Amino acid sequence: MGAAPASRDVTSYGMGLAAPLALFFLLFFVAPLLQLLWLSLHNDTAALHWGLGQYLHFLADPFSLGVLGSTLLLGAEVTAVCLVLGFPIAWLYQRVGPKLQTIIILIVLLPLLTSVVVRTFAWIVILGRQGIINATLQSLGIIDTPLKLLYTQFGVVIALAQVQMPLMTLPLITALGRIDPNLDDASCSLGAGSWRTFFRIVLPLSLPGVIAGCTLTYAAAITAFITQSLIGGGQMLFMPMYLYQQASTLQNWPFAAAISIIFLLAVLAVVSVFTTLGRMSRGYGGA
Amino acid sequence: MSGRKRTLEAISFELVMTVIAVIALVIIIAPSLVVLIVSFTSGFSLRFPPPGYSLRWYAELWNAWQLHFAAKNSLIVALWATSLSVVLGVAAALAISRSRTLSARLLDSLFMSPLVLPALAFGLAALMLFSLVGLPVSPLTLVIGHTVVCVPYVVRNTVAALAQLEPTLLESSAVLGASRLYTFRRIVLPLIRPGIIAGAFIAFMSSFDNVPVSLFLRDAATDMLPIRMWQDLEGKLDVTIAALSGVLIIATVALVAVMERITGLSRRLTN
């Protein structure tokens, strides 16, 4: 029999087991992205001439920059709404019994697992000219003519916030569960009120969860193609649709590739800002 | 809670938090309920509340062969993508979960990166590569693309399940003379199975619902359900789609209930 060293660790497995997935990712994830980068560095559709033309075209074009700006702003708005609505859910979760906890989690999970087209379709029914909100307000005599809710920034933000809420709430629930409940009591017995305790103790200690939630929500919100296109309608253009139009309708692959790379870099920049903040907050939480 | 006096301030805080939480939960659940109710309308439009109730749009759905065709394609691709994700993802999770080396951490971030990178950009990139190497779009390209974006869920849930596995169990098994394979089959696999199933479930749901990758990697012969629905909705507001949404919502709720029983899904996603 083989002379296996006695000290061989039986609790871990060899890295070789990761090789198939690593190879799969190399072939079908890394290689396509490199090919995308390569194509974006060409000035013509036939990919014969190297150059930064596509990037210069994007960066010198107020329209393109406007699309990028409104996409990044949209992400910030959705993240803010998710945080303001999601934090109290996580807080409530820690306050109730196990039965209610399971119900809260399943409610929060529901949008994550329901088809994105279905969720978005529901918002069209709610926000439309004859939708529930307009019908209710009109029947109460508060408004005469229907409000324009669909195809507005407000509509896109609220629909996206509902869709992305689990991505914010789940990390928050985990983070709040890790806070020692004695700290809450200690703060109160030392004379701090509930609001003060919340903002000085609970919120800072839950920062890793807040940051994890913000990262996921932000990334998901700015890449949410279906919700953006159906609720935003033709008037509002965000990066994913811009990318799709250039690639699919106009067949301008090098420019679409450049848009993709700029979009990827923007997402990566936001994620790394959040990650840096997360590292700082963990240091703070551990202090 | 110690017997501290409930001041007005404490009450105001709890009231504000509870009210916002309840409003948020209502906002989360309302759209699904609205669609479900509207789908039983007897009328031709998506009015709420409906003028009357009937199952006519569900009957209509029975004959919508285009939707059936798309649903079948989506189901097949999702099953293949999930199977591939489980095989590749569980093996990778075993390798990286207990290793603290740099390569393990790098691989971990590589396998997780499809979660944050825009899937649409990946879809376009995959299409470009496939057309460069002369592989035409087909169910195969769809399965490959979906696997890339579904694998992170399997890896993450399996790693989490492995992290809760007591190393002493593996050591005792080895001390008692069990081979590594036997220990894996009889100790590790049964204990991490709920984690794998939860990961596979989320991977399946996200593949079945995937738009950004399918958008570039399918053609008319491989019409996918979410894309078919999206394109139908861009044209008109169809009550048949509401009925289809009703079916999908009910199926989702049923599946989540089953998963909660088998895997304790809710605990798994909050730990």
pTM for this one? Answer: 0.90
pLDDT in tens, B159-189: 999 988 888 888 888 888 888 888 889 889 9
DSSP bridge partners of A42: A50
**For residues B47-56, average pLDDT:** 84
Pick among A113, A172, A187 to test the B interface (most B CBs inside 10 A): A113
So what's the pLDDT on residue B2? Answer: 44
* Percent of chain B with pLDDT strictly greater than 70: 97
Contacts of B151 in chain A (CB under 8 A): 21
Is A98 an interface residue toward B (CB < 8 Å)?
no
Q: Do A110 and B32 touch (CB under 8 A)?
A: yes
**What was the pLDDT predicted at A189?**
77
Interface test with chain A among B27, B74, B128, B148, by most A beta carbons within 10 Å: B128
pLDDT of amino acid A8? 60
Please check the confidence at residue A2 and state whether its pLDDT lies above 60.
no
How confident is residue A284, by pLDDT bands cut at 50, 70 and 90?
A: low
Tell me the shortest Cα–Cα distance from B31 to chain A, in angstroms. 5
pLDDT greater at residue A31 or residue A182 = A31
- CB atoms under 10 Å from CB of B232, counted, come to 20
Indicate the average pLDDT of chain B: 89
How large a percentage of chain A has pLDDT more than 90?
A: 47
Chain A and chain B share a number of CB contacts under 8 A equal to 299
Between B206 and B99, the higher pLDDT residue: B206
B189: which 2 tokens? 């696999």
Closest CA to A115 of B121, B31, B116: B31
In tens, the pLDDT along A213-255 reads: 999 999 999 999 999 998 988 788 999 999 999 998 888 899 9
Residue B6 confidence class, pLDDT cut points 50, 70, 90 = low
Smallest CA–CA distance, residue B45 to chain A, in Å, is: 10
Please give the pLDDT value at position A1.
40
Q: Which residue has the higher pLDDT, A135 or B105?
A: B105
Predicted-complex ipTM score: 0.90
Contact A271 B116 (CB under 8 A): yes
User: In the structure, what pLDDT confidence band is assigned to residue B199 with cuts at 50, 70 and 90?
Assistant: very high
Q: Which residue has the higher pLDDT, B98 or A55?
A: A55
Amino acid at the residue B245: S
Average pLDDT over residues A51-73: 93
Residue B76: exposed, middle, or buried by beta-carbon count in 10 A (0-12, 13-18, 19+)? middle
Burial B145-166 (b: 16+ CB within 10 A, else e): bbbbbbbbbbbbbbbbbbeebe
pLDDT at A282: 67
Checking if the pLDDT of A283 tops 80, the result is no
Assess whether pLDDT exceeds 80 at residue A274.
yes
- Using CA coordinates, name the residue in chain A closest to B151: A21
Residues of chain A contacting B145 with CB distance shorter than 8 Å: 28
Structure tokens at B99: 């290793």
Stated length of chain A:
287
